[in-house]
Amino acid sequence: MSLADSDRELVVSELGREPTRAEAALFENLWSEHCAYRSSRPLLSAFDSEGEQVVVGPGDDAAVVALPSPDTDGDRAGGRADDETYITMGIESHNHPSYVDPFDGAATGVGGIVRDTLSMGAYPIALADSLYFGEFDDEHSKYLFEGVVEGISHYGNCIGVPTVAGSVDFHSDYEGNPLVNVACVGLTNEERLVTAEAQEPGNKLVLVGNGTGRDGLGGASFASEDLAEDAETEDRPAVQVGDPYAEKLLIEANEVLVDEDLIESARDLGAAGLGGASSEMVAKADLGAHIELERVHQREPNMNALEILLAESQERMCYEVEPDNVDRVREIAERFDLGCSVIGEVTDGNYVCTFDGESVVDVDAYFLGEGAPMNDLSTEDPAEPETDLPDVDLEDAFETVVSSPNTASKRWVYRQYDHEVGVRTSVGPGDDAAIIAVREAEQGLALSSGGAPNWTDVAPYEGARAVALENATNIAAKGATPLAAVDCLNGGNPEKPDVYGGFTGIVDGLAEMCETLSTPVVGGNVSLYNDSVAGPIPPTPTLAMVGSKDGYDAPPLAVEPAGDLLLVGDLGLETGSPRLGGSEYLARFDGSDAFPELPTDPAAVVETLAAVANDDATLAVHDVSHGGLAVALAEMVTEDAGLEVAIPSDQPAGALFHEQPGRALVQTESPESVREAFDGVAPVVELGSATDDGRLTVDAGRTLTADAAEIRDRRGTIERELE
């Protein structure tokens, strides 16, 4: 990739001369889709990013949100307290690198989002990863899947940050371009808060961390192109190589630097390396910098100015430091065996880089960071799916859907992650949402992260609305109230009108539902040009959402041996027959249909479900989503507790397998109180009761039965295939 002719003309007009080689490369990377969001920024104003709890919104390395304060009775009062605890939220994609080198591509995605957390003065406390691959029975997809999971687990486990939530989806359209989206939550407070905006001319710019090498050169521009057929070999130099042990030292050193109030501003070295981080810091404040590139500590010999400027070597941070504090910063870096270079200072002029006394970059920082023109692209609305329902034996359908890789247990994945390190994990992976104990605020933080490519492929707008509602329902099922979200918006080549139409749909749908739920979208990431010789990916919004609750306990997903089972929501009969569009059932049996209608008042459903989940009479709660009611029922059965349920519908396949979001199964000792709570909010259907025999029995016109061992075997598809 090189600087486009139209962009070069703008640069020449601004500079009054031809750009140097280093300047041209810097503009190429910082004006790429990956950095400048040239195709997506015009759409992002749809998101509501403000709210009483929002401290720092979009535009920084990570967002900052204040946890709501409980009142004296222990109930969540909302609002801001005098002694506030802040959380940070960020999400990042490492899609192209993970195709070229799945282990290092995924690992460095974890490292990058953790350093985004550090740059806000926060300590990372939880990770969530949402992964998307081609069909599970494809050998290359399995190779990518195994490599990505190994990379995430290796890096996260080594740095001691628990991976507590996430999702895994398989879809044929990811075979040429997998997606790796990683979110991180950090912990800080008002006194420790740092931002990426430079503060004062005369302050020093200090580079701390690993030495700079030649890995990751051109990573930002690489991420802004379609993947070529030979990408796995030709683009390997654009993939960074991670060192989690250096990252762990950087985490702890950053903590000391923040504790001692030595940092004025900070930025992680990610896309476009030193050039990207340092120019963006000063551009935010409409300032400049003078950087002497030869001062950068390096791990490879004879590096030239362009390599030093743009290499995306990992485990590096750029700090703004007052001159009197530089020696102390260097002492702390040395204590943690980290490299440290004073590379320049903040100025009130241009962004200037020299190399051995020769100027190689001299540009206005704001123009460099914000001057890229936005793209005006045409769109095509997606076609409405036709109704073409398969005729499948109910028992065969049940076994196929329950054992599908998309709905099967992901235990093979999350058992490789250390999800208990840090002793904050109250509810770990495998549940609807994780719960992290924030003892500093005496609150539990619920975290849900994921998308639904089957949904957004069929109906981008409605599917994205459903993704937001699904994550909120996951959080409510644990008794928490949604607080804020970050998104990773993944799409194909936006220059194709049908692709851009689908991408526009997921942006608008996600924004609309999050606003309806009063859940501000406080930050995110956009990844376009996820296109390959195999074609574009489905429009894929990943949403990482957090919610808060008093205390750290939550109702389990699994049922107890006694109690009534209710379905909050309906069986899909409001339109005459359940809509199966986007369901795993149709994906497995090659059918098509319209997407289900969503609840008329989703905010009330989520609020009421959270209250019911916290009721003393509630024994278990489980969100109904991928795979529909059939999979949700199977997931609730254990060796010690079973379920006997009846499906009051003359269309059992539709009732069992449609995937309308905003529904939940509630096991309770007081069915009447659940009905009263949802009166006027959502229908409540009595399905049956729990047993002590560890068997699922479903009367759906014909009787379906399976004991816990059979269900476990059916849901063990991934584990069985990979071991």
Q: What is the pLDDT of residues 656-676, one digit of tens each?
A: 999 999 999 999 999 999 999
For residue 574, how many other CB atoms are within 10 A of its CB? 14
Return the H-helix or E-strand segment holding 698.
strand 695-699
229: pLDDT strictly greater than 70: no
Residues 6+ apart with CB under 8 A from 364: 14, 288, 350, 351
Distance CA 128, CA 167 (A): 8
In the prediction, which pLDDT does 572 show? 76
Residue 577: band (very low, low, confident or very high) from pLDDT cuts 50, 70, 90: confident
Any idea of the CA torsion for 42, 454, 222, 250, to the nearest 10 degrees?
90
pLDDT at 78 over 70: no
Summarised one tens digit per residue, pLDDT across range 274-318 is 999 999 999 999 999 999 999 999 999 999 999 999 999 999 999
Cα–Cα dist 96/1, whole Å: 15
502: how many CB neighbours lie within 10 A of its CB?
A: 30
Q: What are phi and psi of 259, to 5 degrees?
A: -60, -35
Does 527 appear as a known binding residue?
yes
Reported as a pLDDT band with limits 50, 70 and 90, residue 368 is: very high
pLDDT bin (cut points 50, 70, 90) of residue 241 is: confident
Q: How confident is the model at residue 118 (pLDDT cuts 50, 70, 90)?
A: very high
Percent of the chain, pLDDT > 70? Answer: 94
Confidence band, pLDDT 50/70/90 cuts, at residue 689: very high
Spatial separation of the C-alpha atoms in residues 496 and 514, rounded to whole Å = 27
CATH 3.30.499.10, domain 555-722, yes or no? no
Q: Is 525 annotated as a binding residue?
A: yes
DSSP 616-640: TTEEEEEEE-TTHHHHHHHHH--SS
Q: How do 163-170 and 123-133 pair as beta strands?
A: parallel
What would the pLDDT profile of 427-485 be if each residue is shown by its tens digit?
Answer: 999 999 999 999 999 999 999 999 999 999 999 999 999 999 999 999 999 999 999 99
Tell me: is residue 268 an annotated ligand-binding position: yes
**Angle between helix 326-335 and 244-259 (nearest 10):** 140
How far is it, in rounded angstroms, from Cα 625 to Cα 433?
13
Question: 56 vs 221, which has greater pLDDT?
Answer: 56
Spatial distance between the Cα atoms of 590 and 585, rounded to a whole number of angstroms: 8
Which pLDDT score is estimated for 583? Answer: 97
Average pLDDT over residues 175-188: 96
Q: Are 97 and 105 in contact (CB under 8 A)?
A: yes
Question: Do the annotations mark residue 94 as ligand-binding?
Answer: yes
Q: For residue 253, give Cα distances in angstroms to 120, 189, 346, 523, 691.
A: 14, 18, 23, 26, 54
Catalytic residues: 34, 94
Among 108, 105, 299, which Cα is nearest to 210's?
299
pLDDT the model gives residue 715: 97
Paired tokens of 454 = 């089957």
pLDDT band per the 50, 70, 90 thresholds, residue 236: very low
Per-residue pLDDT at 240: 76
92 labeled part of a ligand binding site: yes
Q: Where are the beta strands (DSSP E) in 570-683?
A: 618-624, 642-646, 663-668
**pLDDT over 90, % of the chain:** 89
Asked if residue 74 has pLDDT above 80, the reply is no
Return all residues near 208 (Cβ < 8 A) that are at least 6 apart.
Answer: 250, 253, 316, 317, 319, 329, 333, 338, 339, 340
> pLDDT higher for 650 or 417?
417
What is the rounded average pLDDT of the residues 136-163?
Answer: 96
pLDDT for position 215: 82
Quote the CA–CA distance of 465 and 248 in Å, as a whole number. 38
Is residue 86 part of an annotated ligand binding site? no
What radius of gyration do the chain's Cα atoms show? 26
Mean of the per-residue pLDDT values of the chain = 93
| 374-402 residue pLDDT tens | 999 999 999 989 999 999 999 999 999 99
Q: What is the average per-residue pLDDT within 405-430?
A: 94
- Residues 154-165: pLDDT tens digits? 999 999 999 999
pLDDT at 121 over 90: yes
pLDDT in tens, 487-516: 999 999 999 999 999 999 999 999 999 999
Is the pLDDT assigned to residue 79 strictly greater than 60?
no
Q: Please, which pLDDT band fits residue 75 given cuts at 50, 70 and 90?
A: very low
Distance of CA 303 to the CA centre of its chain: 35
Question: In sequence order, which residues have a C-beta less than 8 Å from that of residue 256 and are 6 or more positions away?
Answer: 332, 336
User: What amino acid is encoded at 596 in this protein?
Assistant: P
pLDDT for residue 223 is more than 70:
no
> Mean of the pLDDT values across residues 647-654?
88
Helix (H) or strand (E) holding 131: strand 123-133
Q: Encoding tokens for residue 523?
A: 């930050």
601 labeled part of a ligand binding site: no
List the domain boundaries for the chain.
1-72+84-554, 555-722
Give the Cα separation of 94 and 96 in Å (integer): 6
